[in-house]
Structure 1
Amino acid sequence: MVTLLLDSTQLEVVLSATERALAFRSDDVRIARSSIRTVQLTDDAWTWLRGVRARGSHVPGVLAMGTWKAAGGSDFVLVRRRQPAVVIDLDGDAEFQRVVLTTRHGTALQQALRLEVEAEDELADVVDLATGAIQTHPTPTQPEG
């Protein structure tokens, strides 16, 4: 299972050695926080796959890991069986348009993205952020009008 780390500037998807090998990827996935447009929870990540596998591993219904190419760009996919997942739509990211991950921490990710991390230099686990184990400030909301 991937580890999701967040600070004031980026979300980092930390991959295990096995996940790196199956995704044919040498480093973790780093996403600028400013490029995250939406975060959606889903019970069936398989319906969110689009395009064809460009680099990675795919066993239908069992696992999909790596880069998927579609008409509009590339997606990073890390899906296992029929587990809960999170779909992160990106705007302006240089590498991906969407990230689809099976994780039981999707709700914690949504909550953590609404917070401002006080320690700007250190990445923190999204579960710790969402549960209040790490000092945060609510993100100011924009007035309507």
Structure 2
Amino acid sequence: MVTLLLDATRLEVVLSPIERALARRSDPVHVDRSHITKVQLTDDAWTWLRGVPNPGTHIRGTVAMGTWRSAGAADFVVVRRKLPAAVIDLEGDDEFTRLVLTTGHGLALVQALRLEGDDAATEVTEIVASADAGTVPRRARPRSAPRPATA
């Protein structure tokens, strides 16, 4: 899966060597934080694909990576199988209008974008882990009701 790095000014999507080959892209994707308008989490990233890969790779139901072009829009896509994904809408970015990224760290990304970043690029999971424990609410476990005594 992709590595997401975040600092005070930008989000960086770092690809593994295999992902770079399938996406036909040699450089990481850089997006200014100010261009991010919305982040949505989804269980089925395939429904978010629009257009055709140009350049990129598409093996139906297995992998979709690269730049997907449609009428007036270009999305950067890294989708694998039926894994959870983050859909990041962009406004004002020179290269892309949306990122669709399969990641198990979507919730950490949303939380990290809400926090103030520092100048060093840090992986989103580390940003959330280093934040105060009070900023991330935890769900309480439901308690089971006591059973009535039998006679």
* TM-score, with length taken from structure 1: 0.89
Q: For 1:1-145, list aligned pairs within 5 A.
A: 1-117=1-117, 119-120=118-119, 122-132=120-130
Amino acid at match of 1:12: E
Letter in 1 for 2:92: G
**Distance in 2, Cα, partners of 1:8 & 1:67:** 26
How many Å separate the matches in 1 of 2:130 and 2:30? 23
Matches of 2:52 and 2:97 in 1, distance apart?
Answer: 14
What amino acid maps onto 1:22 in structure 2?
L
Which amino acid in the other structure matches residue 68 of structure 2? W
Say how many residue pairs are matched.
133
Deviation at 1:131, TM superposition (A): 1.7
Select the structure of larger CA radius of gyration.
2
Distance (whole Å) between structure 2 residues aligned to residue 103 and residue 109 of structure 1: 9
Task: Write out the 4+ residue segments of structure 1 that deviate beyond 2 Å after TM superposition.
Answer: none
| Structure 1 gaps, min length 5 | 139-145
Q: Distance in 2 between matches of 1:53 and 1:116?
A: 35
3-state DSSP of counterpart to 2:58: strand
User: What RMSD over aligned residues (CA atoms) do the two structures have, in Å?
Assistant: 1.3
Q: Report deviation, 1:72.
A: 2.5
Gaps of 5+ in 2: 136-151
TM-aligned CA deviation for residue 52 of structure 1 = 1.1
Deviates more, 1:41-50 or 1:70-79: 70-79
Q: What amino acid sits opposite 1:21 in the alignment?
A: A
